Structure 1
Amino acid sequence: MITRIFRNIVLTAGLGLAPATTAHAIVGGGVPSADGIGRNVVTIVGSRGNFCSGTMIAPSIVLTAAHCVQSGATYKIVEYDAQRTPQLRDIAQIAAHPQFNLQTMLAHRATADVALLRLASPLAAARQPPPIGTPRVPITVGGRFTVAGIGVTLRGDGKSGGVVRAASLAATGKPGNLQIRLVDPLADGKREGLGACTGDSGGPVFEDQQGRAILIGVMSWSTGPNGTAGCGGMTGVTPLSLYRDWILQTARGWGAAL
């Protein structure tokens, strides 16, 4: 029965795409190179019907957002074979940061919205994991970051998701080591633009540092223009500044060499 539920989630949108639910595609984003930052982005599906993005940081370890893997549900990773047929991979262990608070995240305030998943077996596809770091300091308004995820490009339309997309966004407000708020620099969050949407939660946020794409955060939430409900306005990021050590220690405790 559980397997049937998961396969319905994966197949609802056809070709292995997941349906739109409450998780927070890069609306309007481009499809990154398979050899670039998109190569490590994976789909996480839950038995309650939610789906999120994650990043392979080791052959058996996925980094995602803590709110994507709440207790009371079962989660799996979607892997695609050479024919693009989705295969469900079991997750053996989940660790959410102990300081994560769901209500704080839902209020778009800073919290430890990071989690790690340990797969029961490594993914077959060889991946070179991205280097894990922290944002350059000070984080300045207008600073550029690249986000990537598998979410929908049209809110409410699950068939528009399932493909890794990426976009370059700019920091706004008062960015710091607790939270970074990003907007499409052309729309400034006041009208629809590039940004996270349903299914992008937990997806990676990169910063170019000396010519290298460094994984510095995960996507936590999104809004529509002017703070309305929806997508394409503002994208909330949990930077890894305070959590990088926990990530490394937890992964190493599971036997992963990062």
Structure 2
Amino acid sequence: MRALPALALAVVTLVATPAWAVLQGATSRDPNGLRRSVVSIESSTGELCSGVVVAPDLVLTAAHCMTDRAAYRVNALNRAFRLQRFNVAALAVHPTFVPGTTPRTQPGIDLAILKLDRPLGPEFLALDPTQAGRIDVGDGVTIAGFGVLTERARRTARTLRQTNLVSLGPIEVANRVLIVVDRSRLAETAGAGACRGDSGGPILAATQTGYLLYGITSWSSGPLRSRQPSACGGLTAVTPIAEHLGWISSSMRSLNGRNGAWTGH
């Protein structure tokens, strides 16, 4: 695999944007699969992100998805894959996060937690962030999100897709993230990965009994050998949640005690 210091240097020169669909991903059609835990997040300004259910009325996502002065809504899929809509009543953003910069140079931890105006209900499954493990080099992971099927096909967004990637390990530019890539392409040429619409979606480890939540998608880039500027098909950058469980747990407790409050940025 590519040496990580060289990979970190290459990231500096790449086009990197918020990971706004799962490129080359398979549509998730199992009613007992990830539709129970993965949701989409839309703002009143038309922006789209993804998120993961971590409690009956709490969703973990990327902080950069929540920077607009806008109203936010969470869309979840019922067993028939029809939308169930929930308003965001409260929000906590990681206190170190600094909005307004490009994703790969963005200081701070790219995490936020949303409190819904009512519980999702028994059809949905919360993934416990306290069960998160660490992702080592060579580990396989699953990513999921509601973004576009290909970078320029914006009308293909809002369908839940998932794919399997492999970890190349951590890098540090302005912040520490983990890099995951298509196992067969290793980010050299275009392959599977996050794209526009996947920011905030989960990075998961598959087990015999279900999925464990390991991280949140922050940004993506084009392949290293791309001749054209691209934000998809190369690197997928992950904020690992095992390193931030203290903030996640305390924010979940705080949001559970608030009604209509907005915290953080």
- The one-letter amino acid paired with 1:106 is P
Distance 2:210 2:79 in 1: 29
TM-score between both structures, scaled by the size of structure 2: 0.78
Deviation at 1:81, TM superposition (A): 6.3
Alpha-carbon deviations, 1:45-86, whole Å to 9, x = none?
012221000111111111100000114121111245677654
Distance 1:215 1:82 in 2: 21
Change over 3 Å in CA distance of 1:209–1:88 after alignment to 2: closer
> Is the 8 Å Cα contact of residues 55 and 64 (structure 1) preserved in structure 2?
yes
> What runs of 5+ residues in structure 1 fail to find an aligned partner?
1-20
Distance 1:77 1:147 in 2: 19
Deviation at 1:243, TM superposition (A): 1.6
Residue 3 of structure 2 corresponds to none
Deviation at 1:154, TM superposition (A): 1.5
What SS is found at the alignment partner of 2:256? coil
Write the mapping of 1:130-149 to structure 2, written as runs, cut at 5 A: 130-132=127-129, 133-136=131-134, 139-149=135-145
TM-score between both structures, scaled by the size of structure 1: 0.80
**1:159 aligned to which of 155, 158, 165:** 155
- The one-letter amino acid paired with 2:240 is P
Deviation at 1:115, TM superposition (A): 0.4
Residue 11 of structure 2 corresponds to none
Q: Is 1:97 aligned to 2:99, yes or no?
A: no
Residue 222 of structure 1 corresponds to 220
Distance 2:240 2:102 in 1: 13
Alpha-carbon deviations, 1:159-186, whole Å to 9, x = none?
2121211111111254699310111011
Residue 168 of structure 1 corresponds to 164
Distance 1:207 1:110 in 2: 27
What SS is found at the alignment partner of 1:112? coil
- The one-letter amino acid paired with 1:233 is G
Residue 184 of structure 1 corresponds to 182
Alpha-carbon deviations, 1:139-164, whole Å to 9, x = none?
43222111111111121322212121
What SS is found at the alignment partner of 2:248? helix
Write the mapping of 1:1-258 to structure 2, written as runs, cut at 5 A: 24-32=20-28, 33-80=30-77, 86=83, 88-102=85-99, 106-108=103-105, 111-124=108-121, 126-132=123-129, 133-136=131-134, 139-172=135-168, 174=170, 178-208=176-206, 212-226=210-224, 228-255=229-256
Alpha-carbon deviations, 1:186-237, whole Å to 9, x = none?
1110111100011100000112468652101100000111174321111010
> Is the 8 Å Cα contact of residues 152 and 199 (structure 1) preserved in structure 2?
yes
Distance 1:121 1:46 in 2: 18
Aligned pair count? 234
Distance 1:127 1:54 in 2: 13
> What runs of 5+ residues in structure 2 fail to find an aligned partner?
1-16, 258-265
Distance 1:46 1:85 in 2: 19
> Is the 8 Å Cα contact of residues 18 and 218 (structure 2) preserved in structure 1?
no
Distance 1:80 1:123 in 2: 10
Deviation at 1:110, TM superposition (A): 6.6
Distance 2:153 2:219 in 1: 18
- The one-letter amino acid paired with 1:102 is P
> Is the 8 Å Cα contact of residues 216 and 240 (structure 1) preserved in structure 2?
yes
What SS is found at the alignment partner of 2:113? strand
What SS is found at the alignment partner of 1:242? helix
Change over 3 Å in CA distance of 1:215–1:169 after alignment to 2: same
Distance 1:209 1:86 in 2: 27
> Is the 8 Å Cα contact of residues 38 and 148 (structure 1) preserved in structure 2?
no
What SS is found at the alignment partner of 1:225? coil
Deviation at 1:109, TM superposition (A): 5.9
Distance 2:191 2:212 in 1: 24
Distance 2:81 2:163 in 1: 24
Paired-residue identity, % = 35
> Is the 8 Å Cα contact of residues 22 and 50 (structure 1) preserved in structure 2?
no
